Structure 1
């Protein structure tokens, strides 16, 4: 599960050469320990302070929903000329959809995003320096936070590994949480983007509260009742 992202329960039974009933019992036990999450016949590993999924695994999880969310973010750019783009697969989709027709300065902690945007004629890329995390190719640590502290950003576009009513926006790595918090502090506006499977989850470190964002964009897969609960808790939810 940690290597491949979402896995079908029947696929697990075949892989492990056991019955579907055995797999379901084991998954129930693992879910009770907070190690996995089951949804609509599939199961995925829960991220924690000790485990975070790789970019390759994240690319396989709800890709169409992430594309719809990225399409919707364009409406919220407004007059922003300087944009911070967080690390992650969702942010790569956002980067692909940034407008080409007028000049933008994009600040990012993501090597893949910097590479994607560097060749654009109207886009200036500021790549933050620091230690590169192998599983996400994002940069972190003191140098990164220090440089962010000198910048004035119009709009920060932020993701998370977990979004919960009790703990707000969370991520497994404290060094990543520091980058996200710094970007939100230096930005005039902040927007959250994340697929529905992030909601109702909590990982290791809280970096922001639900009401710190101008809008919280996610897919309609979240459902109206869950969206209302998050909205009542202070999240300006928009389903796309």
Structure 2
């Protein structure tokens, strides 16, 4: 976590208008990643009751999420969380999802693994004694698993995105388009029962679409908090994947909506 607004003797500037105050609240949570209601109340100089009302308004708008007394940002059409925040969220669930995806590798020998922290966890979870060719647009994945003797890693070169350290651009798409892969494991910023899989960045969407197009099989992996969220650019439909793997933290009622929309949903 950065030391942005909560460190040192930062003067509190309290916006008077509710909309201005909520914009300040949203910016603070996005800058820090996760903050308690008490921390936010003290920093913004408002009562806990006022702060909770503001959080509820932003929750209803799909911009913030409150779990207990902790407030966290939510992916949106114009905002994407970074690797540091993702590495601290829903780790137990993400590990269960990775284990299920590994179980579903089948006979695949060539695998595209998407960018992001959750795909990095998957790459680190791959079997130690199984020979695999890993194709990825993720610099962290290449860095962390390239020294494993059973994994042959091909990093797709292109422009590196600072937020996720994934590569994008025509060179990535061109290199992918020349390949024939057994399996693509794809993630998303949002999953909607009506809008499918989405991401805020068109360049990222193009890489995902290309990887899916050259892969014989496709698996989707995503934590429960990504379901019900819609980012700006759709890159896939629910029915494009042989399995949509998430955690049992996605409630049965919400899961039913995705199953009814055609998803081969697996909760682990």
Aligned to 2:71: 43
What secondary structure sits across from 1:169 in the alignment? strand
8 Å Cα contact 1:5/1:58 also seen in 2: no
8 Å Cα contact 1:88/1:136 also seen in 2: yes
What secondary structure sits across from 1:157 in the alignment? strand
1:192-239, CA deviations, whole angstroms, 9 ceiling, x for partnerless residues? 111100000001100000011111111110011111111111111111
Whole-angstrom CA distance in 1 between matches of 2:262 and 2:69: 31
The normalised TM-score by structure 2 is 0.85
1:99-120, CA deviations, whole angstroms, 9 ceiling, x for partnerless residues? 1212110000000000111111
Q: Report the CA distance between 1:166 and its aligned residue.
A: 1.3
- Out of 153, 156, 163, the residue aligned to residue 125 of structure 1 is 153
Aligned to 1:206: 234
What are the ranges of 5 or more consecutive residues in structure 2 without an aligned counterpart?
1-28
What are the ranges of 5 or more consecutive residues in structure 1 without an aligned counterpart?
none
8 Å Cα contact 1:6/1:61 also seen in 2: no
Runs of at least 4 residues off by over 6 Å: none
Q: Are residues 7 and 221 of structure 1, via their aligned partners in 2, closer, same or farther at CA, if it must alter by over 3 Å? A: farther
1:113-170, CA deviations, whole angstroms, 9 ceiling, x for partnerless residues? 0011111111111110110001100000111011110011101011000001111000
8 Å Cα contact 2:157/2:167 also seen in 1: yes
8 Å Cα contact 1:66/1:90 also seen in 2: yes
Whole-angstrom CA distance in 2 between matches of 1:109 and 1:71: 21
Aligned to 1:231: 259
The structure with the largest alpha-carbon Rg is: 2
Aligned to 1:98: 126
Whole-angstrom CA distance in 1 between matches of 2:61 and 2:226: 18
1:72-115, CA deviations, whole angstroms, 9 ceiling, x for partnerless residues? 21110000000000001101110111112121100000000001
What secondary structure sits across from 1:121 in the alignment? coil
Q: Give yes or no for the alignment of 1:109 onto 2:137.
A: yes
Q: Report the CA distance between 1:34 and its aligned residue.
A: 4.2
What secondary structure sits across from 1:220 in the alignment? coil
8 Å Cα contact 1:162/1:203 also seen in 2: yes
The normalised TM-score by structure 1 is 0.94
- Out of 196, 199, 209, the residue aligned to residue 171 of structure 1 is 199
When the two chains are superposed, the root-mean-square deviation of aligned CA atoms in Å is: 1.6
8 Å Cα contact 2:76/2:229 also seen in 1: no
Mapping 1:150-169, distance limit 5 Å: 150-169=178-197
Whole-angstrom CA distance in 2 between matches of 1:235 and 1:42: 31
Q: Give yes or no for the alignment of 1:193 onto 2:199.
A: no
Tell me the number of residue pairs that the alignment of Structure 1 and Structure 2 aligns: 240
Aligned to 1:56: 84
Q: Are residues 226 and 34 of structure 1, via their aligned partners in 2, closer, same or farther at CA, if it must alter by over 3 Å? A: closer
What secondary structure sits across from 1:12 in the alignment? helix
8 Å Cα contact 1:3/1:53 also seen in 2: no
